[in-house]
Every structure is written in C-alpha cells, then in structure tokens.
Structure 1
C-alpha cells in the first residue's frame, strides 16, 4: 500500500537506441511455437515478388547465447498488419499508428530490460555467460534473473502497447482468447513468443484497420493479465516492482505490474442530486459526502492518498435497504459531488457502473468484463467511482445452483479485487455495492465491504414532509404549514442522533447478546470487555469472523476522521488539493479526532446489526426455499404413485 519514491526518468536516448532491434522484430524473425498451436490462416503474406517471405533474426541481447529455431514461414508483423486492409497498396494512418506504437512499446520494454539487468547485476552474468566464464554456482541465479527480466519486459511491452494505442479503443471489440505462448527463458524469446501469437491473432481477427487495432489492444490486455499472474509466484522481481520509470514524451509511467491507463474521465449523463435532495439516510449521506472529499486528497505524484496511509479511507462499501429508499439517489449525489470537485481541480473523473448486462453467456466473458471494470476504476491516473447496483443479481453465491457460471466468475473477480493478495489501496477510487437483498450476496464477498451504509429512506414525520415538498416541486399554491423545510436534514445534527442510537443494538438477536454480556461484566468500557462482547457475537453467529473485526476497526478509524474537509478547500484548489503530499497529510492530521469507547461500541453494534439483519433474512429465505422443495417432492411422489397405480 505504500508508494515508492524510487521513480526515475526513462530517457528518450535509452529508448531510441533500441529502435533498430524493435524494427527488426516487426520486420521478421523465425519462431517455432512451443505451447500454442498455429492457426491455419497464419501464413505471412508476400509483400511483392522481390521480397522473400523470411528474414533472419540476429540476437539483440548482449551476452545471451541462444539456439536459433526455424519454421517454413517467418513472423512478419509489418507485412501482416499492412495486409489487413483488403489489399490496399498504401499504408493507412491506423496501420502506421499501430506499427509505430508496437515499435515504441518494444523499444521501451527492451530499455526496461536493460535497466533491470544493470540494477540486479544480470548484465554482468550475461557477459560472463557470453565469455564462457559463468561460474557453476551462478547458473541458478542467472536462470532466475533471465526469467524475471523476461516477465518484466513482457509486461512492459503489453502495458506500453495498451497505453500508446488507447486512442484507438472504440466500440469494436475482439475476443482473442487466452494467450498461450508465454515463454520466460529469456527476454528475447519471450518477445518472440508473444509477437508470434499476435501475428496469429491479427491473421484471424484483423479483417480491417479497426479490427486490427482492436485485436492488438485485446491481445495486450490478455498478455498483461497472464504475465501478472505468472509474476505473482516468481522470484527476483523486486528491482522491477520496487521502482517506477516515467517516459516523459508519452506521459507513461511504468510501475511494476500495474496497468498504465491514459487519464481520461467519463462524460456523465446521469441526473445529479444535491445533498439536500437526499431525504433521510443520514449516516449514509454523511459518509458519502465525506468519502467524496476524501478521494480529492489523492496525490497524483505520490500516487497515494493521505487518508489511505493514516487510516479511515473507505475502499469498498455496501449500501442496502428496501426498494425505493434512495440507493440510486445516493449514487447520483455522490457521483455529482465528485464530478463537481474534479472539474474545479482539473482532475479526470471516471465513473462506471457494473450492471446485469455485463453478465455474458460466453464462458469467461463475464469475468473479463468484471476485470475490465475493476481496472478502469482503479486507474491511478484518475479519480474513480465504481458502483455495482443490484449486486445480489450480478454476483452469484458460491454453491448456489441457481447462479450462472458468469455470476460465479464475477464473484471470484470481485473477491480478489476488493481484498485479495494483490489488492493495493491507493485512495484514488472507491467501489460501492448496492442491494435490496444483501442476504443473497455471498457471505465472503459481502464481508469485503469495509463500510456499511444502511439506506433506509425517510423515517420521521419531518422526513416525510420534506420529501413530499421536494417531489411536489414549486408549481403549486399549497401552503407548507407549520414546518421548517429541510431543518431535519441538517446533516451534523441528524448524524449525531443516528450514531448515538447505535449505543444499543437495533436487531433483536444482537440485543439479546448485548444484554446478556452487559449483565455478566457490566458496562463495555475496556478493550477486554469489548473483546468479550465480540466473542459472544461470534458464538451467536459463526459468520462473524476476523474480517468483521477488521471492518469494525476500519470504521472506527473513519470515525476518527469524523470531519468534512472544508468546502473552501474544494472550491479553491490552491488551499489544499494542489499542495504537496506531506503538507496535505499534515493538514489532515490536524483535523483528526480522538477515538473514544462510544465510537467503538457504536461501530460494533452498527456492523453486527447489519450482519444479524443479513443472516436472519438469509436463513429465512433458505428455510422458505427448503419448504418449497419439500412441497415439490411430496407432490412429485403423489403424482408418481397415482401414475403407477
């Protein structure tokens, strides 16, 4: 989660010196596939009668002795891409841009490989290997270094390709399938393998310029995913993952196995809501307003948010409530606030919703859609807000026979993205899951929501008067009567009352546990007594695990940040947003509140109330389903016996 300061510039001279080697790869080389199977349509086209179909390729990796392999036709990507336009003799602008992007990406990848070799001492081992003087005791280290360099070079190539060709990402998409020819013996062979497979994919899918560009982009995404997965279990990559390189001319930052995305915002067409248009839902509204401002504290240079470092940042949250209580309105309010703040600061804002239309019958496509959604929101170059509305319909419960394969894929992706081994919380984005029926969400996925927003709609007489007046509008002459409009929606007063109400549990099952523990040990005013209460909750509901305790303590830290950043800080970016990271961190620390026992007890009850509410509903639904199943079995037996008789 910490952000490295080990950033350096990848100089243009260091990139351009690899242009000849990159061009040579695009012009032609020989490669015999080891893992993937060649497609029938993959023969490289002849460019003219005077140009042969093969071009010999010489090694460009100093110190690497390699064995040349051959096949009857070489890989000629330039010819392949130029031929993907129905036989037009002239190179189109799109073809030129794709080829220039591939050459540039290859050169950047080779430059990163060179930097990795120098930083790790691999370049010295290559020299010794070339001279035949590599000590026997160094062979394992040499092999591991070559493999790590290959992974770094492969990922950088795919990452840079995706970044440089992002302007050609349009509505047309191509399904290239999984990339198989991932070879990691050394960087040169690794690049040969993926370029060979790219040649196969362009031959299969590149019917025209648009499809060719889409094929290259889809291929780059597949390579990044495959290589990142392979790298998660590889050794020797600290020199690559622990540093970052800035390619100034392209605005590209290479930072380990993190995808680089062009900082493009989303043009939003939704109807935004102002906070005073959200009636009731006081705690949910207050936390959404705070979170909107928290996101704006993100530092694009350090790629970290002080709130994420200090504690109290909400990376994932779940908003649940009955139908019609205001979940959509809450999303519209929060998206509107962030959008307005980003406009003032000049930041790119990206909002994306993952809906039921992203579930696909094609095997693996739903998971790919979920991964793309997560990566788009996580992009460290933007302020991101991702929502998953009606998550109970989208993410399947594991073991539920009614869930489709696509829903199960989505559940697996979200579980890994929200609290997996590789999850990095930078503080530039947040994910909100919303549901009318949270009891139908997989327990483990639901518990990955670090905060709970109970969206219960208007509650008091004043709330109902306010929402009626709001929705009636102004085109009438009906008097308001004895009522101060929106006074009940004064956020600080309403929130204080809402928090205080959680001094005791709301759910009946939890209230019994609370009263029993309090009768045994008295007021819950020490950590030991609070721990006793937590254990009693776990005994009443075994789903109350260590992750629940983490979510509770995170919520307490949020309460310690129980302040809104001043509005003037959002209106005048120079006061806060444009300050350096350390200054912003110090300004936030000055506003931090002390943690009290009341805060802890309220957050324990708030979280446990939600779990008991979900569990009770989940159990009741399961019982009702079993009753229906038993009834169907009895009816089936009756019909069977009647038919037999």
Structure 2
C-alpha cells in the first residue's frame, strides 16, 4: 500500500507541438488488423420510447469471418466521423469529437515521451535507430516499448472519455454501445494507436447515424480499452514509476493517476434518510470515530490528490463495524453519509456513496468480480470524496475453504482483499470503505484483517442510553414526563468516548484476560516497547491468526489516537478557513493539533483489537460446535428411523 505525492504538469507547448502528428493520424493511415476481423453488423431499431438502442454484432470468433473490413484507401477516421450524420455540414458535436480525439492523441504522446525520458527508453530508441543497441539490452527495450504502448493507449482512451463526457448533455440519452474491442496491440506506440483508431473507425462504420450514437460508441469503446489495458498492465514490467506518478493537464483540468480512469467528478444522488449524531444513541467510540473520519475526508487536497492525514498518519482507509442485529449499524452509516454529504455541499465537492450488496453476486463466471471492481473504481475516483459500504459482508464475500461459499462470493473476496491492501493499492485519503456484519466470525480471516480499524457497534448499554433512545424514538406526539433523568447527558461525546477508551485499559474477553494477567504477572506493568512486544507475542501464541498485519492495524489505530481531535465545525461550515487552503497549509494546521502517543493509548488499542479477534474466534468456535452437535443429532435421528424401517 503506497501514498502518491508526485505531481508533474504536462506542458501545454509540448502538447500543442503534437497536434500536427495527431491530425495526420486522424486524416488517414494504413492498417491491416492483426487480431480483429469484424464485419458490419445489423442494427436493432429502438422498439419504444425510453428503451435504449444496442447494436448486435456478428460473431468475431476466429475462423467464422470470411473477409477483412480494412478499407483499401486506409483508415480515415476524421472523414468517417464527418460522414456519421446525414447532414452535409459538420455538426458542433462532430467538431468537438474531432478536437477531443486530437487533444487526447497529443496528450497521450506527451505522456509516452515523458515515460521514455524517465525510464531510459528514449536512449534505447536512439541506439536502436543507430544500430548500436547491445543484444543484452534487447529484452529491456522490448519490455519498455510494451509499457509505453500501454501508457499511450490508456491515456488516449482515458482523456477521450473524459473530454467527451461534456458532450453527453448536448446529445439525447442513448444506450448504444460499441462491440468488443479486440485490436489492442502493444508492440509500440504508433501501432497501438493505429489499432484502436482502426477499431473506432469500424465501430462508427457499423451504423452510427447521429451525434448521440457517435459520442456513446466512442465512449463505450474507450471504457473497454481502459479496462483491457489496465488488466494487461497488472503483469507488465517497468510501470511502477508511472503508477506512482501523478500528471496533470491544467488547461483541461485532467489528471493522469496511473491506470485509474479520470471520470468527471459527479456526485451520486442519495435517497437515504440521513441521521444526525444526536440521533445515534450508544456506540460512543464508533460514533466518535465516524464523525472524525467524515471530517478527515474533507482535508483531501484535489490539486495534490492527497490527504494530509494520509501522509501524517491516522487516516482510516478501511474499517469494520460489527455487532448484534439491531444495534445501530445502519444508523451509523446514515449518520456518516449525512455528515460527509453536508460537508461536501458546503465546499462544493463531489460526493459519491455506494453500497456493495448481495445484488452484485452474479451466476455468470467473473461477473461478480467485475461488479466488485466497478464498485471499488467508483469510490476511489481521485476527483471525488468517496464513501463505500459493504453491508452484511459475511453474506457477500465468501470464506475461503467454506464449501457453502459460491464462486461469485469468492470472486468478491479476492477483489476486496487486493483492493484494500494489495501491492497496487494507493491510499490518497479521498475515500474510505466500511465493512459491516452481524456475524464477523463468518468473514474470511485475511479479509477481516484488512480492516484497519474496528468499530464495535454494540448499541445502547446503560440505563441512561435506554431512556435516551426511548425518548428519541417516541417522538413528540405525547405528554409523558421524562422523570428523573437528564436527557442525552450520557451521550456527551467526549465524556462518553473517554469512558469507553478507559474500559480497554484491561481486556474484555476471557481468553485475552488470561493472557494479559499472565504477562503482567511475569514482567510487571507494560510500560516499555519491549514489554508491549512481549504482550503481543503472548497474544500470538494464544491465537495464531494474530499476525504482523494485526500489529500494523494496531499501530495505525494508535496513530489515529494521536490525531484524536475533531477538526473544528467552523472549518467545515466556512471552507475558506481550512478546506480551500493549499496542501502545505492544511498539513501544518493538522500537525499543530496532533498529540503525543502514550503507553495508555497503545495498551488500549492492543486490547481493543485483540478483544475483537478473540470475540470473533469464540463466536466462530461456538458456531462450529453448534453445527457439529446439530449434525450429530440428525445422524442419530436418521439411524433411529432407519432401524425402525428395517424392523417393519
């Protein structure tokens, strides 16, 4: 898991210098397809208003196609676009499409040139042209050419989709989509671009008849290109520098962040009923951390594409909320989403919320994984503030080794594990993911440990909590007196949180209490790093699942405690006070509020995390025992009935 801090601007003069070459490519070039062999498909007319039009394609299976569709005079994409409408005059949309493609081709070539200079590919190209390339450098040269081709393809498709998104409002809605984009060639930059431009020419020739279809087909093709290129890039060499860098085209407000699509920053329309913090009774630590996290997200800097909290430590990228049914997990989600939505509205930021639900499990192989990847991409978009939730994750993500887990559930587990703590995971601090479950013991151990923070959602606990929640839910249509009770006094957040943290000075679970007492008896108070490490090792000996990842999660939680402050409400209400400051100023303002780490903090966070693991293990064991007992009883009953049937 890495942080991205590099920011490089692609200079406008270098981009414009590529215009002539881009225009020449749009005007015409020769290309004989290597992979694709498409024929012009039939089109399906729109059957009724409101239903989109989708093109049908004849099979592209090798051996079933009888002829090539490459035109003798070559690929003339500019003319093809201008001929896509019956109007003899060029439409504004056609002109905008051509300008967008020219701009995208130019930016893609500049990004490729930048990569060539940084990686040494430019030197190898010069040697190759001079015929002085050493044979020992040939493999590296070919690998770098492939990496460069992947970059130029993704940047071209990414920016084309980004620029054409502006034209959607100028054209009527259509569901027209491109066919399968197959001509993805990565031998070198020029061949790569020729292949996808040939594909665009074929798609438009297949029957685009108006501006709306033209934009929709090109955007659909670009989305496919990005997806296929990103998939190949996962196994390609020499792309680490490109993945870690952040390029910006200032004139277009366009950012290149590795192989992540730079979609226009659009908010989702939320229909959920938001809850205010005072409407959440109990769950003091969970509520407090959710409130802090909502404000942490707002510190994200859209220019730097990084959050100061992610750099300073203390940012929660993933968390798990667990508790019994009816203890307030949904209310907590509604509260946190409501806070972020309100803050984003004040600042004018795009906010995107999405829940990954059981509806995303599909019977088709690979489709569940695709749904999960789309969910992740939607939330991590660096141009928005994102909040993704996975409710009832024990039902959605399969537990490896569990025979009852479907293939679709296991696909989702694999995607979430890679996305939350994989080699290519980049934490920018613009989004967070919350996993919620009534039965966290049924969640795969490795996936559960990817939750950097634990929110115990245990609902109302004290007498005062139950009085408060009764009064809150009763509403105002009554005259029943409150009685001897100060309403919501117990919900005073700082006082309640302090008491909740103090509880964890000692463990809560029986198994962990025994470990804690034994270590204390052997070595005394846990007041040094060595003694704390001894305690951690003792926990690992009691529960082998308590690995290095658990230690990382604990230390991350301790860093969160070091940032144990809420950003002032005034900073959220008036964006000029904080949100609109430059990155370095925001970072300094946050650093001034930080507090030092203490031994008490470390012990409390060790106990909080370890308590949750022991609680999950105990529940998991109990469930396994209950299932085994139930199975034994069934077998006994089956034997009894079998014997009775034999005697009769």
TM-score, scaled relative to structure 1: 0.86
CA distance in 2, matches of 1:504, 1:124: 62
1:225 CA drift (Å): 3.4
* Shift of residue 517, structure 1, vs aligned partner: 2.1
Distance in 2 (alpha carbons) for counterparts of 1:465 and 1:276: 14
* Gap change, CA 1:19 and 1:272, over 3 Å in 2: farther
Cα offset, 1:244, TM superposition: 3.8
Tell me the equivalent position of 1:542.
544
| C-alpha contact 1:556 1:595 (8 A) present in aligned 2 | yes
Aligned partners of 2:242, 2:409: CA distance in 1, in Å? 35
Quick check: 1:26–1:103 contact (8 Å CA) kept in 2? no
Name 1:14's counterpart in structure 2.
15
Distance 1:485 1:164, change over 3 A: same
CA contact (8 A) 1:366 1:409 kept: yes
Are residues 350 and 524 of structure 1, via their aligned partners in 2, closer, same or farther at CA, if it must alter by over 3 Å? same
Q: 1:246 to 1:634 in 2, by over 3 A?
A: same
CA contact (8 A) 1:312 1:559 kept: yes
* Change over 3 Å in CA distance of 1:347–1:528 after alignment to 2: same
Report the equivalent of 2:461: 459
Task: Count residues with an aligned counterpart.
Answer: 618
State the match for 2:583 in structure 1: 581
1:525-562 CA-to-partner distances (Å, cap 9, x unmatched) read: 22222222212211221111111111011101111111
Question: Within 5 A, what are the aligned runs for 1:466-485?
Answer: 466-485=468-487
Q: Which residue of 1 aligns with 2:109?
A: 110
Q: Deviations over 1:95-152 (max 9, x none)?
A: 6655554443233212322343455564455455446565656544543432232121
User: What is the CA-CA distance between 1:82 and the residue it aligns to?
Assistant: 7.5
Structure 2 residue 601 is the aligned partner of structure 1 residue 599: yes
Q: Report the counterpart of residue 291 of structure 1 in structure 2.
A: 293
2-side partners of 1:313 and 1:207: how far apart? 50
Deviations 1:610-638 (A, max 9, x none): 11111111222233334444555666677
| In 2, Cα distance between equivalents of 1:367 and 1:608 | 31
1:390, CA displacement in angstroms? 1.1
1:253-402 paired onto structure 2 within 5 Å:
253-402=255-404
Deviations 1:300-319 (A, max 9, x none): 12111111111111000011
After superposition, residues 440-459 of structure 1 pair within 5 angstroms as 440-459=442-461
Matched with 1:56 is none
Secondary structure class of the residue paired with 2:251: coil
Say if 2:5 and 2:306, in contact at 8 Å, map to a contact too. no
Matches within 5 A, 1:57-136: 100-119=99-118, 122-123=121-122, 125-126=124-125, 129-130=128-129, 132=131
Partner Cα separation in structure 2 for residue 368 and residue 317 of structure 1? 23
Contact 1:418 1:448 in 2 (8 A): yes
Aligned to 2:616: 614
Per-residue CA deviation, residues 472-505 of structure 1 (Å, 9 max, x unaligned), is 1112111111111100000011001100111111
Give SS of 1:249's match: helix
Match of 2:429 in 1: 427
Please say if residues 389 and 434 of structure 2, whose CA atoms lie closer than 8 Å, have aligned partners that are also in contact.
yes
1:228 and 2:230 equivalent?
yes
Q: Deviations over 1:435-468 (max 9, x none)?
A: 1111111111111000000111111110111011
Indicate conservation of the 8 Å contact 1:19/1:104, yes or no: no
Aligned-partner SS, 1:585: helix
Deviations 1:166-206 (A, max 9, x none): 35499976887986543221111122333445566677897
Deviations 1:60-83 (A, max 9, x none): xxxxxxxxx996766565677788
Whether the 8 Å CA contact 1:42–1:200 is kept in 2: the answer is no
Rounded Cα–Cα distance in structure 1 between residues aligned with 2:155 and 2:103: 11
1:189 is matched with which residue: 178, 188, 191?
191
- Counterpart of 1:151 in structure 2 is 150
Structure 2 Cα separation of the partners of residues 419 and 573 of structure 1: 32
Q: Distance in 1 between matches of 2:191 and 2:642?
A: 66
Cα distance between partner residues in 1 of 2:114 and 2:323: 53
Which deviates more, 518-527 or 606-615? 518-527
- 1:523 equivalent in structure 2: 525
Q: What is residue 564 of structure 1 aligned with on the other side?
A: 566
SS in 1 for 2:551: helix
- Tell me how far apart the structure 1 counterparts of residues 612 and 158 of structure 2 sit (CA, whole Å): 41
CA distance in 2, matches of 1:106, 1:398: 45
**Which deviations, in whole Å up to 9, do the C-alpha atoms of 1:189-235 show, x marking residues without a partner?**
12233344556667789798766655544443343233234334434
- CA distance in structure 2 between the aligned counterparts of 1:630 and 1:27, rounded to whole angstroms: 75
Asked if structure 2 preserves the Cα contact closer than 8 Å seen for 1:295 and 1:305, the reply is: yes
Mean CA deviation greater in 330-339 or 178-187: 178-187
Residue aligning to 1:55: none
Rounded Cα–Cα distance in structure 1 between residues aligned with 2:110 and 2:622: 61
Partner secondary structure for residue 301 of structure 2: coil
Residues 644/235 of structure 1: CA separation in 2 closer, same or farther (3 Å cut): farther
CA contact (8 A) 2:300 2:306 kept: yes
- Aligned partner of 2:417 in structure 1 is 415
> Is the 1:159–1:224 Cα contact (8 Å) retained in structure 2?
yes
Measure the CA separation in 1 of the matches of 2:631 and 2:89. 68
- Does residue 33 (structure 1) correspond to residue 29 (structure 2)? The answer is no
Distance 2:342 2:380 in 1: 20
Task: Give the direction of change, closer, same or farther, for the CA distance of 1:95–1:451 in structure 2 (3 Å limit).
Answer: same
Is contact 2:6–2:244 with CA below 8 Å preserved after alignment? no
2-side partners of 1:240 and 1:625: how far apart?
A: 51
Q: What is the CA-CA distance between 1:93 and the residue it aligns to?
A: 6.9
Tell me how large the CA RMSD over aligned residues is: 3.4
CA, structure 1 residues 141+615, in 2 after alignment: closer, same or farther (shift >3 Å)?
Answer: closer
- Give the deviation of 1:239 after TM superposition: 6.0
Q: Indicate conservation of the 8 Å contact 2:33/2:183, yes or no.
A: no
Structure 1 unaligned regions, length at least 5: 45-68
